[in-house]
Amino acid sequence: MRIESDIKLGFKDVLFRPKRSTLRSRSQVSLQRTFRFMHSGREWTGVPVIAANMDTVGTFEIAKALAEHDMLTALHKHYTEQEWDTFLKDADEDIYNRIMVSSGTSDKDFAKLTSLLERHPKLYFICIDVANGYSEHFVSFVTRVRQAFPDKVIIAGNVVTGEMVEELLLGGADVVKVGIGPGSVCTTRVKTGVGYPQLSAIIECADAAHGLSGQIIGDGGCTCAGDVSKGFGGGADFMMLGGMLAGHDESGGEIVEENGKTFKQFYGMSSSTAMDKHSGGVAGYRASEGKTVKVPYRGPVVNTVQDILGGVRSTCTYVGAAQLKELTKRTTFIRVQEQENRIFNG
């Protein structure tokens, strides 16, 4: 047994130190980024915030709304080919830059992915997603997908340590998704005792990925726009959001009325709710590692999107970054014992 005793940080442990700046207004800040992906060689430009591939968040409706802001959506993997056909029927060309196809790692998943990409060859982002990205099987699946689709952008996750980021990038991933346990409806840390504070995971994994010209996605744990900024400040190339985008008109999940208030259901993809819905229940050998919650209904997602992007722009002005690309370089985090003053939070 070993103990690592250097400090690992979550979003709640830091704040940005403000810096002198020549920027006058947040309207001067550009959140667009351009990346060239290491294996596929493709170039992409957009706002690097991604809706999570959960069936309550990564919906076609969310994808349309986020595409208006040049943001991405990882569509959940339970859509049928017919549903994809309908969605893509009158999709303008730019939509292909704004959506990702999700896949698990079974032979059935591979067959479904292959068939979908043959039907719609313009789809080019593939998100291969498992709760635990540390298995050999996962790395070989990523390599198999890379061999089958040399010119697609492959995202693989989730992991939280630099050596596994390197292994996945060398195994064929262009981008690695980072986060084990920080999610709003995740119970992995409670059920298994496994996890890694998300800001430190981002900082360490970004460093490993950038050394090989790869990118990372900080996935999970953002509770507010400030956390999204902290992820970018820590070195994340993309940030992925679940709970922050739940509860809207465009989100999935049933509407629940209680005492005159409206809520929408939101649940983890390995919660018993999701497993009952998609896999005929929780298999006997495993525990559910996700929660089911009700989030207050929040109307159209565009208001939340503006709030998040406005917040990140404002962070950039506080530290003097004219473009999101400069944010990491301009970031000094200070460790803190407090975040906001909650006296009027009820």
Q: Which of 173, 289, 293, 304 contacts ligand 5GP by CB under 6 A? A: 289
Q: Residues for the chain: how many in total?
A: 346
DSSP string, 273-305: HHHHHHHSS--TT----B-EEEEE----HHHHH
Q: Does 217 bind ligand 5GP (CB under 6 A)?
A: no
Q: Give me the amino acid identity at 220.
A: G
Nearer to ligand 5GP, 220 or 321 (CB): 220
Q: Give me the amino acid identity at 142.
A: V
Q: Does 241 bind ligand 5GP (CB under 6 A)?
A: yes
What does the block give as tokens for 344? 């009027």
Q: Does 227 bind ligand 5GP (CB under 6 A)?
A: no
Q: Which of residues 148-167 bind ligand 5GP (CB under 6 A)?
A: 158
Structural contact between residues 37 and 50, judged by C-beta atoms closer than 8 angstroms? no
Bridge-based pairing state of the strands 261-267 and 255-258: antiparallel
Q: Estimate to the nearest angstrom the gap between the alpha carbon of 227 and the chain centroid.
A: 13
Structural contact between residues 209 and 248, judged by C-beta atoms closer than 8 angstroms? no
What does the block give as tokens for 53? 């591939």
Q: Which residues contact 151 (CB under 8 A, 6 or more apart)?
A: 40, 41, 42, 124
Nearer to ligand 5GP, 63 or 244 (CB): 244
Q: Which of 67, 127, 206, 222 contacts ligand 5GP by CB under 6 A? A: 222
Q: Which of 48, 133, 172, 220 contacts ligand 5GP by CB under 6 A? A: 220
Q: Which residue has the tokens 């996700």?
A: 290
Q: Angle 162-170/136-148 helices, nearest 10 degrees?
A: 30
Q: Does 269 bind ligand 5GP (CB under 6 A)?
A: yes
Q: From the CB of residue 213, how many other CB atoms can be counted at a distance below 10 Å?
A: 13
CB of 9 to ligand 5GP, least distance (A): 16
Q: Does 252 bind ligand 5GP (CB under 6 A)?
A: no
Q: Which of residues 74-93 bind ligand 5GP (CB under 6 A)?
A: none
Count residues near ligand 5GP (CB under 6 A): 25
H/E stretch holding 335 reads: strand 333-335
Phi/psi zone of residue 180: left (φ > 0), alpha (ψ -120 to 50 degrees), beta?
A: beta
Nearer to ligand 5GP, 66 or 244 (CB): 244
Among the listed ranges 2-10, 135-143, 266-274, 325-333, the one in contact with ligand 5GP (CB under 6 A) is: 266-274
Q: Which of residues 132-151 bind ligand 5GP (CB under 6 A)?
A: none
Nearer to ligand 5GP, 114 or 187 (CB): 187
Among the listed ranges 12-20, 85-93, 242-250, 326-334, the one in contact with ligand 5GP (CB under 6 A) is: 242-250
Nearer to ligand 5GP, 29 or 217 (CB): 217
Q: Which of 133, 214, 235, 268 contacts ligand 5GP by CB under 6 A? A: 268
Compute the distance between CA of residue 185 and CA of residue 332 in angstroms, rounded to an integer. 30
CB of 62 to ligand 5GP, least distance (A): 13
Dihedral in degrees, nearest 10, Cα atoms 15, 57, 287, 177? -50
Nearer to ligand 5GP, 105 or 270 (CB): 270
Q: Does 235 bind ligand 5GP (CB under 6 A)?
A: no
CB of 95 to ligand 5GP, least distance (A): 21
Q: Which of 271, 273, 315, 331 contacts ligand 5GP by CB under 6 A? A: 271
Residue 186 designated active-site: yes
Bridge-based pairing state of the strands 175-178 and 49-51: unpaired
Structural contact between residues 305 and 69, judged by C-beta atoms closer than 8 angstroms? yes
CB of 242 to ligand 5GP, least distance (A): 3
Residues in contact with ligand 5GP by the rule CB under 6 A: 52, 54, 131, 158, 179, 183-186, 188, 219-222, 240-244, 268-271, 289-290
The residues annotated as belonging to the active site are: 186
